[in-house]
Structure 1
Amino acid sequence: MSQPAAEWFSTWFDSPYYHLLYRERSHAEAHVFIDELLAHLHPKPTTRLLDLACGKGRHAIYLSKKGYDVTGVDLSPESIASAQQFAHEHLHFHVHDMRDTLPYGPFDFIFNLFTSFGYFANETENVVALRSAAAALRLGGKMVIDFMNTERTVRELVAREEKTIGDITFRIRRHLDNDFIVKEISFLDQEGHARQYEERVRALSQERFEEYFQMAGLRLVEVLGDYHLGAYDEKTSPRMIFVLKK
C-alpha cells in the first residue's frame, strides 16, 4: 500500500529554504505586536502562556523575556531544535501537532500568531485543533488567533512574484484552488537542483471562524484589524485578529 503524501507544512517548514525566503520578517514588528497585546490583555505576572505553532520561537522567547512562563509548540522538529537553545526553567519547547491533545497545560493565554492556522486539507481538523487548544485553556482564559484579512488578501492577490535572496531566486505563483489560497514556490537550490514547494491556507471568512469558535466552545470577545490593535474593517484591515474567551 502506498504511503499518503506528506502534508505540505511538514516538509516546507523543515526546509532551510523556508527560513531563507522569510528571513526578512521583522522582529521589531513582532515585538510591537506582542507589546500591544500584553498592554491590551493585562496578563498577571504569574500568567502561563502557550505559543501555538511557535516556529523557531521568536515570540515565545520575547514573551519569556517579559517575565512570563511560556511554552512553545510546533510541528517542525527543525524549528523546535533551533528554539531549544533558548529554553530555560520558565521557557519550554516541544514538537507537537496542534490537532493532538496538549499535555502541557493548563494555560491562561494561548497565542496563535502570524497566520499559523487553516493549513489542513480536511476542514474538520481546524475544529479539532481549536478544541485541543480550548481544552488546554483555563476556564476564563483567552486565546488570540492572528490571521490574514482573507477578503482583502484574495482581492489583492499578486499572481506572480520573484525574490532573489543571496544566490537563490524564488519564483512565486499565487492562485485560488477551491477554498484555499495557494502559493507555489520554485527555485534552483545551491547545487542547481530544481525544487518546488507549496503553501495552502484555507481562505477562512470571519463567519467561518465564528462557526469554528462556537463548535470549540470559545466565545468571541473582539476582532482587531492590525498589529497596533485598530478596529477590524473587512475592506481595509491587513489582519483579522480574534480575541476569544473560554
Structure 2
Amino acid sequence: MYGTEQADIFELMHKSRGKDYGAEAEEVARRARLRKPDADSLLDVACGTGAHLRYFADLFGHAEGLEMSEPMLALARKRLPARCVVHSGDMRAFRLGRTFDVVTCMFGSIGYAAGTAELEAALRSFAAHLVPGGVVAVDPWWFAETFQDGYVAGHVTQTDGRTVARVSHSARAGDTCVMRVHYLVADARAGARHFAEEHTISLFTREQYETAFTSAGLSVEYVAGLNSGRGLFLGTLLDTAQDQHRPSAH
C-alpha cells in the first residue's frame, strides 16, 4: 500500500518518464464510444491520485473514481475538481448505488487482484455498475507469458526544488510479480531520505483475463500495443440477466 510520500511522488515520477495520462484517457474514451456512442458517464476504479480521472472528467459529462489507498484517495480529492467524486472502496467488492456508461481500471491496477477468484470478483463488480450496453476498459498488468523476470528500471527527476531517484526490480514468484521499489528524495529543507515499497502483483494469462470478462457477462476484445505494450481489454455488457442485482440506473 502506498504511504503519503510515495503517493505524492507517484504521478510525478511516471509523468517525468514520459507517461501521457491525457493521451491514454482520450484513447480509452474513443474506443469506448466506438462501442457506446452516447457514453457520457464514467467510473475510474483504482484511480490512484486521479491522474487519468482528471482527463476523464473533461471527456465525460459525469466522472467518479474509486480508490482503496487512503493517501492516494486524499490526494485525488485535493487535486480533482469538486464535481468529480472519489469514493473509498475495494475494486473486488464495492457498491455505489448507481450505474455508469463506462467503467475503467488503468495502469495495471487490476493486477492487485490476488488470484483468478478475485479477478473475476472485480470484473463482476465492474459489470454490476454498468448500464445495459456499457463498456469496461481494463489496462492489464503484464501477462504471465510476457513478463520479463528480473526487470530493472531506474529514473531521476527534478521539480520544484526536489530531486527524486527511483529504482525498481521485478521478479517472478510463482504466479506473481514481486516488485521492490526504492526512492531517494532530496530537497534543501529536509535533506536526503530513502524509503522503499514492495508490491505483489498477479501475473494473469490473457486467457484468464478473457475468462473473467465472459464470466461477468461481458464481451471481450484485446487491443495489443497500447499502454507501454501491456495492451487494453474492452468489454461490453451483454447479459441483462444480472439487472436485478444492479444498483439503480442513472
- Identical counterparts, % of pairs: 23
Q: What is the rounded CA distance, in whole Å, between the counterparts of 1:112 and 1:28 in structure 2?
A: 16
Q: Which consecutive residues of structure 2, in runs of 5 or more, have no partner in the other structure?
A: 238-250
Aligned with residue 110 of structure 1, among 83, 93, 103: 103
> With structure 1 as the length reference, what TM-score do the two structures score?
0.77
Please name the residue that 1:223 is paired with: 222
Q: In terms of mean alpha carbon deviation, does 197-206 or 15-24 score higher?
A: 15-24
Aligned with residue 179 of structure 2, among 177, 183, 186: 183
Q: What is the rounded CA distance, in whole Å, between the counterparts of 2:209 and 2:154 in structure 1?
A: 32
Please state how far the C-alpha of 1:55 moved relative to its aligned partner: 0.9
Please state how far the C-alpha of 1:178 moved relative to its aligned partner: 0.2
> Residue type of the partner of 1:68?
G
8 Å CA contact 1:226–1:238 kept in 2: the answer is yes
Please state how far the C-alpha of 1:67 moved relative to its aligned partner: 4.3
Please name the residue that 2:44 is paired with: 51
> Residue type of the partner of 2:225?
D
Secondary structure of the structure 2 residue equivalent to 1:198: strand
Please name the residue that 2:124 is paired with: 131
Q: What is the rounded CA distance, in whole Å, between the counterparts of 1:18 and 1:60 in structure 2?
A: 15
Please name the residue that 1:8 is paired with: none
> Residue type of the partner of 2:224?
G
> Residue type of the partner of 1:14?
G
Q: What is the rounded CA distance, in whole Å, between the counterparts of 1:218 and 1:129 in structure 2?
A: 13
Residue 152 of structure 2 corresponds to residue 141 of structure 1: no
8 Å CA contact 1:224–1:239 kept in 2: the answer is no
Q: Deviations for 1:72-109, whole angstroms, at most 9, x for unmatched residues?
A: 111122222222233334x2111111122322421111
Please name the residue that 1:202 is paired with: 202
Q: What is the rounded CA distance, in whole Å, between the counterparts of 1:114 and 1:28 in structure 2?
A: 10
Q: Deviations for 1:188-211, whole angstroms, at most 9, x for unmatched residues?
A: 676877643211111111111122
Please state how far the C-alpha of 1:152 moved relative to its aligned partner: 6.7
Residue 21 of structure 2 corresponds to residue 30 of structure 1: yes
Q: What is the rounded CA distance, in whole Å, between the counterparts of 1:99 and 1:195 in structure 2?
A: 29
Distance 1:191 1:146, change over 3 A: same
Please state how far the C-alpha of 1:45 moved relative to its aligned partner: 5.9
Residue 87 of structure 2 corresponds to residue 88 of structure 1: no
Q: What is the rounded CA distance, in whole Å, between the counterparts of 1:188 and 1:61 in structure 2?
A: 28
8 Å CA contact 2:11–2:51 kept in 1: the answer is no
Q: What is the rounded CA distance, in whole Å, between the counterparts of 1:168 and 1:188 in structure 2?
A: 6
Please state how far the C-alpha of 1:36 moved relative to its aligned partner: 2.4
Distance 1:186 1:34, change over 3 A: closer
Q: Which consecutive residues of structure 1, in runs of 5 or more, have no partner in the other structure?
A: 1-10, 229-236
Please state how far the C-alpha of 1:187 moved relative to its aligned partner: 5.0
> With structure 2 as the length reference, what TM-score do the two structures score?
0.76
8 Å CA contact 1:102–1:133 kept in 2: the answer is no
Q: What is the rounded CA distance, in whole Å, between the counterparts of 1:37 and 1:177 in structure 2?
A: 31
8 Å CA contact 1:52–1:74 kept in 2: the answer is yes
Secondary structure of the structure 2 residue equivalent to 1:63: helix
Distance 1:216 1:17, change over 3 A: same
Residue 54 of structure 2 corresponds to residue 61 of structure 1: yes
8 Å CA contact 2:92–2:113 kept in 1: the answer is no
Please state how far the C-alpha of 1:151 moved relative to its aligned partner: 5.3
Q: What is the rounded CA distance, in whole Å, between the counterparts of 1:30 and 1:170 in structure 2?
A: 19
> Residue type of the partner of 2:172?
L
8 Å CA contact 2:114–2:201 kept in 1: the answer is no
Distance 1:239 1:144, change over 3 A: same
